[in-house]
Structure 1
Amino acid sequence: MNSQNNITPDQNEMARYAKALGHPIRIYILNRLSELSCCYSGDLTEELPIAKSTLSQHLKELKSAGLIQGEIQRPRIKYCLNKENWKRAQKLFGSFFNE
């Protein structure tokens, strides 16, 4: 029996979110965005002791998972939580941990 056939779309979605949450810098970014509504990547660079390229990679991972969204405002990029997907992730993880 192939266990891949038993994986639900919700489980795949939850795994995508979990992967994005798998680094403390990404957790920090999500916490910060939940506090501020939005912020610029340059502001995060000043707060975090990491290279801009490293921050960019973390933002890319969060964006790829759908947890954040970015809006280009030359020469900067403004990032915000993707509220719809953030609520979806909360629901999935809440259901998972409350089972």
Structure 2
Amino acid sequence: MKRIGYEIENPNLDVIFGALADPTRRAILSRLASGEASVKDLAEPFDMSQPAISKHLKVLEGAGLIERAVDKQRRPAKLNARAMLEAVAWLEEFKRFWTGSFDQLDDLLEELKNGDSHD
């Protein structure tokens, strides 16, 4: 699909943000930030089955946000924060925009407060 007037810089961003859109997957990532965990460990706080958690893990793995190893009969998951760097970099562009916009608004409000004319 071609987007008119826009370049697709990083198609993986769609996959990353899609994975992050689900609150269960975000909770799983938060849990994995403290260390690797098995499907059983990850399913414990949720009211869902281990196969349902495994589906969430597949989405996260497909987005590159987690890695899974084989350890005998279990497949522990661990966070791969490198993939999030792409999303963070994209969001940083907007942070710079909004910071600049708020700085301009602060300057304008200060001028108005001091009674300076803005001709």
Q: Is contact 1:14-1:93 (8 Å) kept?
A: no
CA RMSD after TM alignment: 1.9
Aligned to 1:13: 12
User: Which structure's residues are more often helix, by fraction?
Assistant: 1
1:16-61 C-alpha deviation (Å, 9 max, x unpaired): 1111112110010111111x13212110121221111110100000
Residues 78 and 97 of structure 1: CA distance in aligned 2, closer, same or farther (over 3 Å): same
Bigger relative contact order (CA 8 A; separation at least 6): 1
Unaligned runs of 5+ in 1: none
Aligned to 1:77: 75
Q: Is contact 2:64-2:83 (8 Å) kept?
A: yes
Matched, 1:65 2:63: yes
Name the CA distance, whole Å, in 2 between partners of 1:95 and 1:37.
Answer: 30
Residues 3 and 86 of structure 1: CA distance in aligned 2, closer, same or farther (over 3 Å): closer
Aligned to 1:88: 86
Aligned to 2:51: 53
For 2:59, the aligned partner's letter is E
Unaligned runs of 5+ in 2: 98-119
Name the CA distance, whole Å, in 2 between partners of 1:33 and 1:58.
Answer: 13
SS at match of 1:26: helix
Aligned to 2:41: 43
Name the CA distance, whole Å, in 1 between partners of 2:45 and 2:28.
Answer: 10
Name the CA distance, whole Å, in 1 between partners of 2:3 and 2:17.
Answer: 20
Name the CA distance, whole Å, in 1 between partners of 2:15 and 2:94.
Answer: 14
Q: Is contact 1:40-1:77 (8 Å) kept?
A: yes
For 2:74, the aligned partner's letter is R
Q: How many residues align?
A: 96
Larger radius of gyration: 2
